[in-house]
Amino acid sequence: MDAAFWHERWRANEIGFHQEQGNPLLKAYFERLALAKGARVFIPLCGKTNDIGWLLANGYAVVGAELSEMAVQALFEDLAISPVVDELSDLRHYHAENIDIFVGDIFDLSSELLGEVDAIYDRAALVALPAEMRKSYSQHVVGIAQGAPQLVICFEYDQALQAGPPFSISEAEIRQHYSENYQLERVITVELEGGLKGAVEANEVVWLLKKG
Sign of CA dihedral 27, 187, 193, 160: positive
Closest CA to 206 of 193, 188, 192: 188
CA 104 to mean position of chain CA atoms: 15
Residue 190 and residue 58: Cα distance in Å, rounded? 25
DSSP state of 32: G
Q: Does 186 carry a binding-site annotation?
A: no
Q: Does 175 carry a binding-site annotation?
A: no
Sign of CA dihedral 52, 55, 102, 128: negative
DSSP state of 147: T
Q: Does 6 carry a binding-site annotation?
A: no
Q: Does 20 carry a binding-site annotation?
A: no
Q: Is residue 208 within a helix (H) or strand (E), and if so which, with residue range?
A: strand 202-210
Residue numbering of the annotated binding site: 10, 45, 66, 123
Q: What residues are designated binding site for S-adenosyl-L-methionine?
A: 10, 45, 66, 123
